[in-house]
Amino acid sequence: MIELKTPGEIDAIAAAGSVVATILATLRAKAAPGITPLELDALAADMIADAGAESSFLGYHPRFAPSPYPAVTCISVNDAIVHGVPAADPLVAGDLLSVDFAVHLDGWCADSAFSVVVGDDPDPADMALIDATERSLAAGIRAARAGAKLGDVSHAIGTVARASGFGMLENHGGHGVGRSMHEDPHVANEGRAGRGVKLRPGLVLAIEPMLIAGGTDAYRHDPDGWTLRTADGTRAAHAEHTIAVTKDGPRILTATR
């Protein structure tokens, strides 16, 4: 069931989104050679507590997972696409790092993600992958207008990704968000324009393209049951914002303020 949020509830999600944006900006700035994903996760945990928020990831246990999620961030490196469990191996220059993060604040959830290359000399191919992922996200957000269809959002994302020559993680996409981290509807990252539910003011969505450099859509699971890796071993990037459909156009609720 799709729940439309009131303007006040959207403001409450935006407050959670502000916490998410602030913490992600700090993690991006700290993502340097020598730091470990576990250290980044610990920093995020401290900042969550300081903000009076709660992690939406820690202890999350969907049916597909063998155990509850053990961290407050998902940190995926190089060929890891999403759901990477923070590890103790230090980051090195040239690593492609993706960080996915969500919190609950006063009962409301916001979810966002970014990708970045560690160090000062990024590979142009990695930057092109990240750029296409961010452009796919921006296209999906632009399409999230009252009166449009959900398929318009999916079509916009997929058109940019495919035109760039990249694959997209199959069977995964965005989702509704609000009281829970995952709500209806599912937001596919590829689809037909003009199809699906009509977008109405009050609909809050997490839009999140996940692109694969090698052009394939296939993935494999790590033994931890959480981390998804590209089947062909090429790199991946992830970008995400929580947005609200309003009568005045899409409102990004996890933008840095």
- Within-domain flag for 159: yes
236, β-bridge pairs: 212
- Within-domain flag for 167: yes
Handedness of CA 31, 74, 46, 22 (dihedral sign): positive
- Within-domain flag for 19: yes
Q: What is the chain's pLDDT, residue by residue, as a tens digit (257 residues)? A: 999 999 999 999 999 999 999 999 999 999 999 999 999 999 999 999 999 999 999 999 998 899 999 999 999 999 999 999 999 999 999 999 999 999 999 999 999 999 999 999 999 999 999 999 999 999 999 999 999 999 999 999 999 999 999 999 999 999 999 999 999 999 999 999 999 999 999 999 999 999 999 999 999 999 999 999 999 999 999 999 999 999 999 999 999 76
- Within-domain flag for 235: yes
How many domains are there within the chain? 1
- Domain range for 157 is 7-252
Question: Would you call 92 exposed, middle or buried from its count of C-beta atoms within 10 A (0-12, 13-18, 19+)?
Answer: exposed
Specify the CATH number for the domain of residue 154: 3.90.230.10
- Within-domain flag for 75: yes
Whether the Cβ atoms of residue 129 and residue 97 lie closer than 8 Å to each other: no
- Within-domain flag for 257: no
Phi, psi of 40 (to 5 degrees): -65, -40
CA-based R_g, the chain, Å = 17
CA atoms within 13 A on the CB side of 207: 34
pLDDT for the residue 64: 86
pLDDT for the residue 256: 78
pLDDT for the residue 257: 63
Rounded to two decimals, what is the model's pTM? 0.97
Question: Could you tell me which residues come within 8 angstroms of residue 133 by beta carbon, excluding any fewer than 6 positions away?
Answer: 115, 161, 166, 209, 210, 211, 237, 238, 239
Residue among 132, 148, 135 nearest 205 (CA): 148
- Within-domain flag for 191: yes
Q: What is the dihedral of CA 60, 42, 10, 255, to 10 degrees?
A: -130
Helix (H) / strand (E) containing 81: strand 80-82
- One DSSP character per residue, 168-181 reads E-TT-EEEE-SSSS
- Within-domain flag for 129: yes
